[in-house]
Amino acid sequence: MSTDPRSSYIPTIYTQREAAMAGTPIVTRIETTEFEWVHPRGELHLKHLPHACAIRISTDQGATGEYVGGQPVDHDSIRYIAHLLIGYSALDRSGFYERAKHATRQIGRVGPSTVDIALWDLAGKWYEAPVYELLGAGPKRLRAYASTSPGDPAGGPLGSPEGYADFADQCYDLGYRAFKVHAWIDGDVEHEIAAAKAVGERVGDRMVLMDDPSSGSRTFADAVRLGLTLDDYRYFWYEDPYADTGISSSGHRRLRERVRTPLLLTEHLRWLEPKVDFAVNGGTDLLRADPENDGGITGVMKIAHAAEGLGTDVELHFAGPAHRHAMTAIRNTNYYEMALVHPDYDLTSPATSVALDYRDGLDAIDADGCVAAPTGPGLGVTYDWELIERRRIGGSVWEIE
């Protein structure tokens, strides 16, 4: 038994000496970079959004893992868990998951997710395989849905119910066969109902439709009213219906008793156990998971397998290379979220603005409305680190002593 005091977290983890004996790469450095995110089309400078973040993990044997994504708060919180990775095996992702889960239990488990994704990238490069192969899957085309930006002020392309219907038509012509409405999120249920009706009447006979008020309805009664409208137009799912912000299993169990459209919840519950509890207590039909919020790819696969055991599906929130790899390896999932698209611009993942060989966006689908995970080692994404450094506004470094 090792005398390393850190081994008290998980008795069977590699210590630095044991991992070195096994020929395993040891984590020696974690570096985060916060940088200004400029929209790739150039005309939209996203000052109103948080700055983008990147992480690089280095090892004693030259293997590295990289990821662009997450929020500044995630990367700031790495200070609480860096000591749980520095000096440990870079391939022991499950061990890191358990140690970090314990260490961040008082801060909402913020921080470990992007670290885990970078570790998967590192492992794929170490074994010279794409992440989806490490997860036991082969390449697969993923059906995508157009997930709209929130509504515009009056006069904008998404400034009216008809504007949403026109955009749904445009997305259909591009190849999408599924469309999700994020309307104005202003608390006015009449706006939400009007948009849902307009889209349903225009494309409901040829597109799968979803609705996400983003917890915008102020009351349970308004959530029921919108849900009954979605029933009329046979929407595929109803997401985050009202102002509880998607965390009340009892409230959503009562909503499920009143509307037929399947509910998609748990985006705002973090990691495995709260999501399973929510489903077991009848609060949702489908589960939501996100590699950037739910313990990385390791956490998402746990959630997917739990959902499978419960006989339901998991839908991954937002877009990005980690999402594509995880989705490729999940049977019980339906659509890739191409978020957040708009007739004039895309508010997609920050990786799109600094990746040399990867992108998300309205026109980033094939003729059949599908996408695929990159096939290169790891995440299969090459980042423009010179560009990231030019836009750098901050960051942190943790190194082995």
Three-state secondary structure call for residue 74: helix
Q: How far apart are CA 324 and CA 300, in angstroms?
A: 12
For 209, phi and psi rounded to 5 degrees? -115, 140
pLDDT-derived band at 282, boundaries 50, 70, 90: very high
- Whether 18 has a pLDDT exceeding 70, the answer reads no
Instruction: Give, to the nearest 10 degrees, the angle between helix 112-127 and helix 321-328.
Output: 70
pLDDT-derived band at 5, boundaries 50, 70, 90: very low
What pLDDT, on a 0 to 100 scale, did the predictor assign at position 3?
38
Average pLDDT estimate for 347-376: 91
Q: How far apart are CA 51 and CA 36, in angstroms?
A: 5
- Whether 346 has a pLDDT exceeding 70, the answer reads yes
pTM of the model as a whole: 0.93
What tokens does 7 get? 């081994």
Question: Mean pLDDT, the chain, as a whole number?
Answer: 91
The upper half-sphere exposure of residue 283, i.e. CA atoms within 13 Å in the direction of its Cβ, equals 24
What single letter denotes the amino acid at residue 30?
A: I
Three-state secondary structure call for residue 286: strand
The upper half-sphere exposure of residue 107, i.e. CA atoms within 13 Å in the direction of its Cβ, equals 16
The end-to-end CA distance of the chain, in Å, is 23
Least confident of 106-110, 192-196, 246-250: 106-110
Please state, for a pLDDT cut of 70, what percent of the chain lies above it. 91
8 A C-beta contact, residue 396 and residue 114 = no
Structural Rg of the chain based on CA atoms: 21
What pLDDT, on a 0 to 100 scale, did the predictor assign at position 50?
58
Model confidence pLDDT, tens digit, residues 50-79: 578 999 999 999 999 999 999 888 999 999
8 A C-beta contact, residue 198 and residue 166 = no
Beta strands in 114-167 (DSSP E): 141-148
What pLDDT, on a 0 to 100 scale, did the predictor assign at position 400?
85
Least confident of 8-22, 34-48, 239-253: 8-22
Domains of the chain: 5-129+380-399 (3.30.390.10), 134-372 (3.20.20.120)
Q: Which helix (H) or strand (E) holds 239?
A: strand 237-239
What pLDDT, on a 0 to 100 scale, did the predictor assign at position 20?
56
What pLDDT, on a 0 to 100 scale, did the predictor assign at position 38?
63
- Residue-level length of the chain: 401
Q: How far apart are CA 343 and CA 158, in angstroms?
A: 8
Whether a cis peptide bond, with omega within 30° of 0, leads into 174 is no
Residues 6 or more apart whose Cβ sits within 8 Å of residue 311: none
